[in-house]
Amino acid sequence: MVRAVLTACLFSSALFANLVSTQDWPVNRSFYDYLILNKIDPILISELDEDSYVAVRTILSGTTFYEHREEKTDRLLHALIPISEEQQISLYCNKDGYRLEIVPVRYAIVRETLATRIQSSLQADLIGITGNSRLAHEITAIFDDRVDFRRDVQKNDPIGAIYLRKVRLGKTWGSVTVESAFIETNGKRRYAFYYPEDEGYYDEKGNALAGLFLKYPLKFIKITSEYQPAGRQHPIYGQLRPHLGVDFGASAGTPIYTVAEGVVRFAGCQRTCAEGYGKQVVIEHKNGWQSRYAHLQSFASKITQGARVSQGQTIGYVGKTGVTTGYHLHFEMRRNGQTTNPLAIKNVRQDGLKGKDLSNFLALVEKRRGDLDYYADTAKTGVNRISLIDANGNSNAN
């Protein structure tokens, strides 16, 4: 986590009028550049710990951020700059100087329904109606194992979903959660229901459609060091240090897959490639999840900041960059900045639900299926609909 740090900030009281604006983060602008531009001592960054150092380098170009300036002097009083879907840098000036913290991103959540008939292709139609490419991608991914979109889908086949969308600063923000969806092909209606417990998708009987994560990021698994947040004897430093991920032994150049669909937030080295985690990839997934892959020999092509990746895509190759005793992959899973044991998470692709999970899920299906059938029948009448069901959350400007 980012420690609050201080640097000189000539704070003047509320004598002057203030200006609030939102802008898009420019291409190739670093947080360091931003500090310099605002005449803020970049010592703020150099005092951060390793994690935060990576965090401030995960700002994606095009991200809408918020600024608050003193009108007369143009001095920056407060900036909120997202570093992930759920977290943002809060840089502000108070009487002690400039301070830096990581705080949650604020957004509203709206629930909407969509029902239509396919005209050209699923992706094109859904993007055309909703303007939301993440939603189109999500619906396709959910049915991908069951429906061959090129062969099975005919013109006028009904499709629809009930989904949650985030809204921040008046625009769609981040990922989409499809709560339930249907597609009808060859006269057969197929359903998908989201099970919040493991963030996976299942058909109406509880058979798995799509899992949030693959269990492992490598094909052949040899665990050489487990997750030990309380600390282990570090093989090089000797001292007791927390081990915040799992190490997989593998030979040089072994392909590494991303465990879920997402966006590359960081692909590079921390300060230098000889230190710490060496060459590292950080991928952001939905619902505040992040996976990290360290000590890479090299990155796969097109794995650069901002790139979209799909589940199972090769993102890099096993190496021994950074501080390590040999070739291996250091793999971490985090949620909203907190590490978790990658081998203990249950949000992995599985065969189907069982026991208590199955009965809870079937109760959920019972509640949701009627709505879905209603929208499926509506779609058949040829009416395109996209409508708001309800909204909640904090719709503050920041």
In the complex, the residues that contact Zn ion under the rule CB under 5 A are: 247, 330
Return the H-helix or E-strand segment holding 154: none
Q: Is the dihedral of CA 42, 43, 46, 48 positive or negative?
A: negative
HEC string for 263-301: EEEEEECCCCCCCCCCEEEEEECHHHEEEEEEEEEEECC
Q: Which residue has the tokens 């005092």?
A: 47
Q: How far apart are CA 185 and CA 42, in angstroms?
A: 58
Please report how close the Cβ of residue 245 comes to Zn ion at its closest, in angstroms: 5
Please report how close the Cβ of residue 330 comes to Zn ion at its closest, in angstroms: 3
**Nearer residue to Zn ion within complex by CB, 190 or 330:** 330
Task: Judge contact between 370 and 100, C-beta under 8 A.
Answer: no
Please report how close the Cβ of residue 32 comes to Zn ion at its closest, in angstroms: 28
Please report how close the Cβ of residue 205 comes to Zn ion at its closest, in angstroms: 40
159-182 per-residue burial string, b: 16 or more CB within 10 A, e: under 16 = bbbbbbbbbbbeebbbbbbbbbbb
Please report how close the Cβ of residue 331 comes to Zn ion at its closest, in angstroms: 8
**Nearer residue to Zn ion within complex by CB, 57 or 330:** 330
Amino acid at 230: A
Please report how close the Cβ of residue 202 comes to Zn ion at its closest, in angstroms: 33
User: CA angle at residue 131 from 129 to 136, to 5 degrees?
Assistant: 80
Report the DSSP beta bridge partners of residue 78: 68, 92
**Nearer residue to Zn ion within complex by CB, 182 or 293:** 293
Please report how close the Cβ of residue 87 comes to Zn ion at its closest, in angstroms: 23
Mode of pairing for the β-strands spanning 289-299 and 223-225 = unpaired
Two tokens, residue 343: 């081998």
Please report how close the Cβ of residue 329 comes to Zn ion at its closest, in angstroms: 8
**Sequence-ordered list of residues with C-beta below 8 angstroms from that of 385, at least 6 positions apart, any chain:** 113, 114, 115, 116, 375, 378, 379
**Nearer residue to Zn ion within complex by CB, 293 or 299:** 293
Q: Which residue has the tokens 């401030």?
A: 56
Residue nearest to Zn ion (CB): 330
**Nearer residue to Zn ion within complex by CB, 85 or 247:** 247
**Nearer residue to Zn ion within complex by CB, 184 or 247:** 247
Residue 136, φ and ψ in degrees, nearest 5: -60, -45
**Nearer residue to Zn ion within complex by CB, 82 or 245:** 245
**Nearer residue to Zn ion within complex by CB, 228 or 305:** 228
Q: How far apart are CA 251 and CA 294, in angstroms?
A: 14
Please report how close the Cβ of residue 338 comes to Zn ion at its closest, in angstroms: 17
**Nearer residue to Zn ion within complex by CB, 196 or 326:** 326
Mode of pairing for the β-strands spanning 308-309 and 338-340 = unpaired
